[in-house]
Homo-oligomer: A and B are copies of this chain.
C-alpha cells in the first residue's frame, strides 16, 4: 500500500531523524503553515552528549531520552511516525519506508546522523562496540561490569589481567569521556565491592592514531586533557594506530594487548540512506551540501547535522556536534518559512559558541569564544549547559539529583547488568593464552 493518509493541502515537510537537527527543525516549524511529519526508527530523542554516562552506569536510559511524541505533542501541525526510512526518490519527491509504504514531501529534511565506522574492518564491530544509541550504551555498560565480575572469579593471573584491561580506541571527546569515566568507576564506584580483585588496579588505555587527543581543540587543551586522564590513571597512547582486533586482544603500535573489553570511538560514517539521494558524498558518506544546506539541484532537500559535510567559513567542514545540528535544523525551518513568504534564501552561518569535553569528576576542558581553560570551572559550565539543553523538566531534575549523588558519594547508581549474561561467543570467547606478549610496562615503553 502506498501512503494514503489524509493530510491537508499545506506543504508537506518530512523530517527524517528525531535527533538534534530534526527535532529543533520540527519545533521551529510549530507555527509555520505546513504539515510536518517526523520519522524515526526509535520512539525517543536521545541526548547523545550524555550517552557515555549511561554506558558508565551514572545515569538511566530514560534520563537522557524523551519520547519524540511527547516532546512534540502540543504541535498540532506535526505527526510522528515510528518507522525506518529506506531510501529517497528525489525525482518523485517520495521517501520509501522499510514497510513498503511511501511518504510524499514538498520539503525533505535529512538528519539521519552517523554510525561508527571501522574503516572497512566491519568484523571489529562485534568485538569493539561503539557508542551511538541507548542499546550501544547498555551493551558497553554490560561488558564493562561483566569484565570485573569475571576477573573476580578468575584465578589465572594472566587471564584476570586481560579481564581488567579496558581499551578505548579514539581520542576524540567520546573517547576521552569514556576513558575518564571507566577510570573513575574502577577507582571509586567499585572500590569496596570485590573480595578477590582490586578494581583500582584495572588498566584503562586510550589509543589515538593522531599526534594528540581532542584534535578539534587547541593544543593546550589537548595537553590538559592528557594530564588529567593520566592523573586518573589512564594510559594515554597517541600516534598508536590499532591494526587489528581479535577475540581476546588488540594489536596497536606493534604491540598485542590482551583484553576482553574494547570500546570504539574512532570513526563515523553517515547513514547509508544518503546514498539514495543522488548527491555527492564525502569519504565518510556525508552529503556535500550547498551554502543553504541543500543538495545540488534540489533546493527542497536539506541535509543536516552530522549527515552533512558543510564547508566551514574558516576552511574544513563543520564538526558533527550538537550545536551545529541544532542551528542547522533551525536554519532549515527558517528557510522553509522564508520560501513560503517569498523571501530570498541566505546562506547558513554557524555561530560557534565553543566546545566542552569532560575528563572526569570536576575536570573538563573548554574552548569558548577563544578562551581556553580547564578544570572545575569548565566542568561546572559543562554541567550547566547540559542540564539546560536536556529536554524535559523531569529529566533535568532527576539528572541533577543523580549527579549530585554521584559527586558526593563517588557512586554509580545504575550498575545493572541486564539482558544476556553471556555476550555472543563469537565476540568474547575465553582469551587465548597470550602470555607471550603481556602488556603494561612493555607497551608503555613502546609508546612515544
Instruction: Show the binding face of A for B, using Cβ within 8 Å.
Output: 1, 4-5, 41-44, 60-63, 65, 67, 69-70, 73-74, 79-84, 134-135, 138, 145-146, 149, 152-153, 155, 192-196, 394-395, 397-398, 401-402, 405, 411, 413-419, 421
Least CB separation from A421: chain B residue: B41
Q: Are B417 and A44 within 8 A (Cβ)? A: yes
Q: Are A145 and B43 within 8 A (Cβ)? A: yes
CA distance A315 to B246 in the complex (A): 61
Q: Are B416 and A149 within 8 A (Cβ)? A: no
Copies of this chain in the oligomer = 2
Known: A134-B416, A153-B83, A418-B61. A73 touches B41 (CB 8 A): no
Contact with A398, one of B194, B196, B401 (Cβ below 8 angstroms): B401
Q: Are B417 and A42 within 8 A (Cβ)? A: yes
Contact with A73, one of B193, B196, B394, B398 (Cβ below 8 angstroms): B193
Least CB separation from A67: chain B residue: B415
Q: Are A405 and B394 within 8 A (Cβ)? A: yes
A209 CB, min distance to chain B CBs, angstroms: 32
- Which of A4, A74, A416, A419 has the most chain B CB atoms inside 10 A of its CB? A416
CA distance A196 to B69 in the complex (A): 13
Contact with A413, one of B4, B42, B62, B82 (Cβ below 8 angstroms): B62
Q: Are B416 and A67 within 8 A (Cβ)? A: yes
CA distance A161 to B195 in the complex (A): 55
Q: Are B421 and A82 within 8 A (Cβ)? A: yes
- Of the A-B pairs whose beta carbons lie under 8 Å apart in the complex, a sample of 8, sorted by A's number, is A4-B155, A5-B196, A43-B149, A43-B415, A62-B415, A67-B416, A81-B153, A398-B398
Known: A44-B416, A417-B43, A421-B82. A69 touches B194 (CB 8 A): yes
A251 CB, min distance to chain B CBs, angstroms: 29
CA distance A145 to B405 in the complex (A): 31
Known: A82-B421, A145-B43. A62 touches B414 (CB 8 A): yes
A270 CB, min distance to chain B CBs, angstroms: 21
Q: Are A401 and B397 within 8 A (Cβ)? A: yes
Q: Are A63 and B60 within 8 A (Cβ)? A: yes
Given contacts A41-B421, A69-B194, A83-B153, 15 further A-B contacts (CB under 8 A): A1-B155, A42-B421, A43-B417, A44-B415, A44-B416, A60-B60, A62-B413, A67-B193, A67-B415, A69-B193, A80-B193, A81-B152, A82-B417, A82-B421, A394-B411
Find chain B residues with CB under 8 A from A62 CB. 60, 413-416
Find chain B residues with CB under 8 A from A416 CB. 43-44, 61-62, 65, 67, 134
CA distance A49 to B82 in the complex (A): 32
A351 CB, min distance to chain B CBs, angstroms: 32
A99 CB, min distance to chain B CBs, angstroms: 8
A-B pairs with lowest CB-CB distance, top 7? A62-B414, A60-B60, A69-B193, A82-B149, A43-B417, A67-B415, A73-B192
Q: Are A402 and B398 within 8 A (Cβ)? A: yes
Least CB separation from A37: chain B residue: B195
Find chain B residues with CB under 8 A from A43 CB. 145, 149, 415-417
Find chain B residues with CB under 8 A from A81 CB. 152-153
CA distance A44 to B44 in the complex (A): 26
